[in-house]
A = this chain, B = another copy of it.
Amino acid sequence: MVDNPFYSPEFHGDYEIASIGRLELEEGGVIPDCRLAYTTWGELNDAKDNAILITTWYSGTHQIWRDVYVGPDHALNPERYFIVCIDQIGSGLSTSPHNADGANAEIAMSRFPHVRIGDDVVAQERLLREHLGIEKLQLVVGGSMGAQQTYEWAVRFPEKVLRAAPIAGTAQNTPHDFLYTKALVEAITSDPGFNGGDYTSNTEVEAGLKRHAGIWAVMGFSTEFWKQEVWRALEFDSKEAFIAGFLEPYFTVMDPNDLLAMAWKWQRGDVARHTGGDLDAALGRITAKTFVMPVDEDMFFPVRDCRAEQERIKGSELRVVQDVLGHLALFGVAPTYMPQIDQHLGELLATPV
């Protein structure tokens, strides 16, 4: 276990933590006491049928959803819905390599077991059912790795998911994406300070985390983001200042093992694991009304990969989000971003199912 003040309410706002107990993992490992951080907005009605689940992306938590996506002026409106955002395993808030202590001490740091997207979804379903009494979701929505979880929900628990909105992500990770994530992983693990995962502070891996941020700069934003100097809107004077003042600090506060636990999951997201590798069959299980929402400038979840999956989902619609930021449109920096998200999610929520 490593002390890291970033993973606290000071940086992530209020959240709850619930134990769902022992979690047997798809890869054979075990989390002895799986603890999930989550946040809720709004009130669960008596019928318990107004719930929305938000899943989180690589490096992101409920906090960005609170800051950007959820509110009375948004489609994710707490005045109408009971909205639950559950931080993924490895997020640094839920059970993660850096915070594994007590019953989880045996899986701390480099000993953390491989976790899959399916493990997260099983854990989330248990939390919703056992702690909150939720058996049906009006909507599951998430971006990037959150989209992977959204698809996993819709395939694994079709009877529980009425609507699904995977944003900027795929149901089956692509080989290119696997290689991209591999480059991210190697930027971290190649740092001598990483020490095979047994560093004593994330600061010992700062150089690796900065290189990791540098690769995000190349793939996370679009070529046009850099050409048009969109970072000026964030009040930086140069791309170097933007990287040093935004992208690097964003990642260097994080825990390397936590990022790697998420990366391993991300690389292997695949709903076809339910159907012996048959993606058509897996996507054919989806009964949720689904809006597939890629970002037009995304460099690693390109529209065509998302469209190829959307076309295999009954009654689904492709809703392309226009955003020059590319994948990291998810940050919601462009003033034109949230109106599109609200438009699509609003229409989806208004669609009878």
Interface residues, chain A, CB within 8 Å of chain B? Answer: 174-177, 179-180, 182-183, 186-187, 190-192, 207-208, 211, 214-215, 217-219, 221-227, 229, 239, 243, 299-300, 302, 304-305
Q: Is the interface of A mostly helix, strand, loop or mixed?
A: helix
Q: In the assembly, what is the distance between CA of A288 and CA of B80, in Å?
A: 65
Considering the complex of A and B, which 3 residue pairs feature the smallest CB-CB distances, nearest first? A175-B226, A176-B223, A176-B226
Across-interface contacts of A211 in B (CB, < 8 A): 183, 186-187, 190
The answer to whether A305 and B223 touch across the interface, beta carbons within 8 angstroms, is yes
Q: Which of B174, B175, B183, B207 contacts A190 (CB 8 A)?
A: B207
Distance of A32 from chain B, by nearest CB (Å): 33
The answer to whether A217 and B305 touch across the interface, beta carbons within 8 angstroms, is no
15 more CB-based (< 8 A) A-B contacts, given A176-B226, A180-B218: A174-B223, A175-B226, A175-B227, A175-B239, A176-B218, A176-B225, A179-B226, A182-B214, A183-B215, A183-B217, A187-B187, A190-B191, A218-B219, A224-B304, A227-B305
Q: In the assembly, what is the distance between CA of A221 and CA of B227, in Å?
A: 21
Q: In the assembly, what is the distance between CA of A218 and CA of B190, in Å?
A: 18
Across-interface contacts of A300 in B (CB, < 8 A): 223
Distance of A308 from chain B, by nearest CB (Å): 9
A-B contact pairs, 26 of them (CB 8 A): A174-B226, A174-B227, A175-B227, A175-B229, A176-B221, A176-B222, A176-B223, A176-B226, A176-B227, A177-B223, A179-B218, A179-B226, A179-B239, A179-B243, A183-B217, A186-B211, A186-B214, A187-B187, A187-B211, A190-B190, A190-B207, A190-B211, A192-B192, A215-B215, A219-B219, A299-B299
Q: In the assembly, what is the distance between CA of A209 and CA of B214, in Å?
A: 17
Distance of A284 from chain B, by nearest CB (Å): 20
Across-interface contacts of A190 in B (CB, < 8 A): 190-191, 207-208, 211
Q: Which of B179, B221, B304 contacts A214 (CB 8 A)?
A: B179
Q: In the assembly, what is the distance between CA of A46 and CA of B165, in Å?
A: 70
Distance of A195 from chain B, by nearest CB (Å): 13
Across-interface contacts of A218 in B (CB, < 8 A): 176, 179-180, 183, 219
Q: Nearest chain-B residue to A174 (Cβ)?
A: B227
Distance of A58 from chain B, by nearest CB (Å): 16
Q: In the assembly, what is the distance between CA of A217 and CA of B180, in Å?
A: 8
Across-interface contacts of A299 in B (CB, < 8 A): 299
Across-interface contacts of A219 in B (CB, < 8 A): 218-219
Distance of A184 from chain B, by nearest CB (Å): 10
Across-interface contacts of A239 in B (CB, < 8 A): 175, 179
